[in-house]
Amino acid sequence: MIAHLQRVAPQEGCGLIAFAAGRPGRAVQLFEGTNTERSTTRYNMDPGEVLAALNEMERRGWELGAIYHSHPRSAAEPSETDLAYFYYPDALMVIVSLAGPSPELRAYRVGFEGASVQPVPVRVIE
């Protein structure tokens, strides 16, 4: 995930993470996305890629566990835009900041349209 986001910088990168069904928090597959906004401050994953990823998750019995994106020049904290356009409250929001000397990853449980934001601990496995 971090390599993907570094590769597309300085644009924001994005993608989806599938979790094993019945095992909350256990990532099993990463689906890299294309940011159709081509922006350093906004992202929108290509709808065809989203549909293909969700179909693959359903076929394999996985679930959408997280939506990830990067902040190339700011902290790994949800922006107002991130919160306003987050429509999947069952999935985590994962943000990777590329602003510092090394990437910083944080995850959040976000209520519909940012009604609530709770940090979630993350353990990255190489």
Examine the residue annotation and report whether 12 is marked as an active-site residue of this protein. yes
Residue 41 has a CB neighbour count (10 Å cut-off) of 13
Active site residue: 12, 32, 56, 58, which one?
Answer: 12
Cis peptide before 10 (omega within 30 of 0): yes
Closest CA to 94 of 72, 55, 57, 68: 68
Which tokens hold the place of 117? 């934001």
For CA atoms 39, 126, 28, 26, the dihedral sign is: negative
For CA atoms 105, 71, 83, 14, the dihedral sign is: negative
**Catalytic sites, residue numbers:** 12
